[in-house]
């Protein structure tokens, strides 16, 4: 039971992190400045994409971190879930124990 929870939690974490980054892109599109602001630390360029448009906004290093980490964190969560599933066989192949066709 714990193994199933771990695999589902890793898959959920992968999709949740991706959704968080998509939400933050929309938020930064609406609220962040289009010009650098060294006084507030918004000097890092980030291209945010929404359904409407693509914009170049300036963020702080902390605000930029989730977008940069997504390309490392999501694959790690997904691959961990994949390899744990292969080891624990949480999601089984339905044809695994079926007799083979005779041709």
pTM: 0.81
How far apart CA 54 and CA 26 sit, in angstroms, is 10
Q: Which tens digit of pLDDT belongs to each residue from 50-95?
A: 888 899 999 999 999 999 999 999 999 999 999 999 999 888 877 7
Is pLDDT of 3 > 90? yes
Question: Which sign, positive or negative, has the C-alpha torsion 33, 36, 37, 42?
Answer: positive
Question: In this structure, what token pair is assigned to residue 74?
Answer: 């999501």
Is pLDDT of 18 > 90? yes
Is pLDDT of 103 > 70? no
Question: In this structure, what token pair is assigned to residue 87?
Answer: 């080891």
Is pLDDT of 49 > 90? no
Residue 81's CB is within 10 A of a number of other CB atoms, namely: 21
Residue that wins the pLDDT comparison between 13 and 49: 13
């Amino acid at each position: 039971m714990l193994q199933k929870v771990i695999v589902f939690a890793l898959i959920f974490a992968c999709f949740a992190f991706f959704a968080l980054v998509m939400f933050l892109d929309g938020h930064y599109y609406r609220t962040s400045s289009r010009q650098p602001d060294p006084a507030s630390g918004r000097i890092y360029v980030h291209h945010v994409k929404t359904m409407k448009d693509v914009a170049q906004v300036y963020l702080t290093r902390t605000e930029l971190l989730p977008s940069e980490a997504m390309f490392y964190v999501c694959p790690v969560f997904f691959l961990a879930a994949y390899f744990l599933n292969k080891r624990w066989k949480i999601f089984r192949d339905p044809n695994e124990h079926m007799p083979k066709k005779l041709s």
